[in-house]
Structure formats: C-alpha cells, structure tokens
Amino acid sequence: MKILVTGANGQLGHDLVKLFAGKYEIHGLGREHLDITNEEQCNRIISDLRPEVIIHSAAYTAVDKAESEEDLAYKINAFGTRNVAVAAEKVGAKLCYISTDYVFDGAGGNPYREYDNTNPQSVYGKSKRAGEQLVQTLSSRYFIVRTSWVYGLYGANFVKTMLKLAQDRDSLKVVSDQLGSPTYTVDLAHFLEQLVQTERYSIYHASNSGICSWFEFARAIFEESGLKTQVVPCTTEEFPRPAPRPQYSVMEHLAIRTNGFVDLRPWREGLRAFLKELSETER
C-alpha cells in the first residue's frame, strides 16, 4: 500500500511516518515539500506519486492566533484541504482528513456522536468544519476523523508544557470546567492504520477512551511522573483566551464500535506509554 502523509513534521504526522515505515511505501511530506495551499503543486505531486491513501494531517492549529488570522486559517484548513481532496480524487486515492472536537460548540452534556449537528464557535473550529464539508463534497472515498486534546513526542503540547512548568513551580492553576478526552498520537496512528486499509468510509470520533478535565489531566501527568507539583483547579473565566474553548468536547465512538474497529485504550494508559517514551528519548 502506498500512503502519502501531509503535515509529516507535525505531532501526528511524525508518528504516522514512524509507524508505517517498513510496512508500507510511505511518503511523509512536510510544508517544505508539499504546500497544500498551492493548487498546482498539490496536483503535480499527488499525480506523480499516485498514492492509494492520503492521510491529510497538515493543518493550521494555532487556535488563539486564528482569531486574528482568519484568512490564513481558512486558506490552509479549508482551501488547502480542497486542493488535496481534488488531487486525491483525480488519482482515485482514499482520503483521510484529520479534524477536531472544535467543530462542536461544547454546550452539551452528553458525548457528541459523529452525525450530531456541528456548531463551531472559534475561527479554528469553523475553518476545520469547512475542510470537512469540502472533503464530503469533493471526495468519493473519504474518512473524516475527529480527535481531541492531542499530544505526542514531536512538537508542543499540554503534557510537555505541564512538565516544563513543574520544573520551576511548586503549584499550577489549571482549568477544571472544560471536559474532554486526551489523545496520544501513537494510539491515534494505530487506529488510522486499521481504518485506511478498509472501505468503511464515514465520519469517526477517535480519542483515547474516558473523560477528564484539564485539571484532572494535569494532576495525572504529575502523578504518573512522580512529581509533587500541586495542581489548583480554576475556571475558564479566570484564564480568558482569544478563542472560545468547548466546555464539553467529549466524543462518542459510535462509528468505531459499529464498524468493528478496535477502540483506543483509556487515556491514562496512553499517558503512561507517552511518559515512558518521553523518558527513553531523554536518556
């Protein structure tokens, strides 16, 4: 199987290329090799490579910055995705688009199912939802995979930030009124490997299983790392940010279960595996 991964230098892209290397013919392209906003380049590279599967993980992900860079967020997340979808369709490739929990408003109290109405509140969420709609319109063989609270070995993320802050501080305030599900990139990559080998096209919600708040997540990070840093709960109002965050972004994994896939393991198990991986790379 020939697989093209866009955004190969990102957290997920890195782990996809690492996992797939040696198993498949894998082409991991970062922005310097494939600028998805360049329509002509997208068509040329995808036409030359003729992949059977494209995992489209390239994205504009600066959630707060997007509020003041709306054009750029849409250029990458919507129109860049359109370019990839059109080029994929021309060569008959399956397209797997990585999306986000931010397509929901987070105002509910029950886990979101894949076909619940979306209502993004931030520019980032709206631009990613636009990408979904373009994939659904332009591709005949697509998977849309929404994930949440992603962290991995490569790039910046919440887990690394907490560990870094703990080096200098005895206590940290962390938001306790936003609920969701952390997702370890390696676990997500294993799910995507299962998924793209099938023709079970659909929208999927894929995160590590279980629910926590950012406060509970931070506390678990320190507990699993053996750190004594105290975590103090606070409200979203105490930490105002330019972009609104979903208060409740827990996602139901209905499509994973009903299509017969193996679900992602509990989030705390994923966290332990990541911390082990992180410590091994720092030796």
Q: Which residues are catalytic?
A: 124
Largest CA distance in the chain: 56
Q: Which residues contact 195 (CB under 8 A, 6 or more apart)?
A: 96, 143, 145, 204, 261
| Structure-block tokens of residue 231 | 């975590």
Q: Which residue bears the tokens 């986000």?
A: 100
Pairwise CA distance, residues 99 & 70, whole Å: 17
Cβ atoms < 10 Å from Cβ of 63: 19
Pairwise CA distance, residues 18 & 97, whole Å: 19
Position 100, amino acid: T
Pairing mode of beta strands 230-234, 171-175? parallel
Burial class (CB in 10 A: 0-12, 13-18, 19+), 247: middle
